[in-house]
């Protein structure tokens, strides 16, 4: 008897946990992964850091980051598509701002996690150095 086809987007990873992420469909997880891919480029993070202080136009972003105009425009487009920044017209200029300030909470969590990992690695390195120098 043929098995009924299961839609890829309907399947979930796990329903046995309280985690909202663990209950997402594969299609939804792809959206989450794509969001993080947008943040995987240092130049985009640089732009986001500039926008933390408030709305900026492309010229101001270029001046503060040292990136080229085409590069900044490309990154702003991707950030806007991901919903991280929004665009607002002011006369002839377009200003970009962070769409959701909770974005920076995510950044803080990542930075704290990296700090913990680096401290642990430093501790392990010191232990290795101490062990090798006592041999």
Please report, in tens digits, the pLDDT of each residue of the chain (135 residues total).
444 444 444 444 444 456 787 888 999 999 889 989 999 999 999 999 999 999 999 999 999 999 999 999 999 999 999 999 999 999 999 999 999 888 889 889 998 999 999 999 999 999 898 888 876
78, 129: one domain? no
* Phi, psi at 84, each rounded to 5°: -85, -40
Q: Are 72 and 82 in contact (CB under 8 A)?
A: no
53, 111: one domain? no
Distance, CA of 53 to CA of 130 (rounded, Å): 44
Q: Which domain holds residue 129?
A: 102-135
Helix/strand/coil percentages in the chain, nearest 5: 60, 10, 30
pTM for the model stands at 0.71
28, 91: one domain? yes
Query: How many domains would you assign to the chain?
Result: 2
């Amino acid at each position: 008897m043929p098995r009924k086809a299961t839609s890829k987007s309907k399947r979930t990873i796990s329903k046995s946990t309280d985690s909202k992420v663990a209950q997402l469909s594969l299609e939804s997880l792809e959206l989450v992964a794509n969001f993080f891919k947008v943040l995987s480029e240092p130049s985009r993070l640089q732009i986001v850091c500039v926008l933390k202080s408030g709305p900026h136009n492309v010229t101001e972003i270029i001046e503060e980051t040292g990136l080229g105009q085409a590069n900044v425009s490309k990154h702003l487009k991707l950030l806007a598509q991901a919903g991280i920044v929004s665009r607002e017209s002011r006369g002839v200029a377009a200003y970009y701002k962070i769409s959701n300030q909770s974005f920076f909470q995510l950044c803080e969590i990542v930075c704290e996690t990296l700090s913990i990992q680096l401290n642990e690695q430093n501790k392990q390195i010191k232990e290795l150095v101490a062990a090798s120098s006592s041999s």
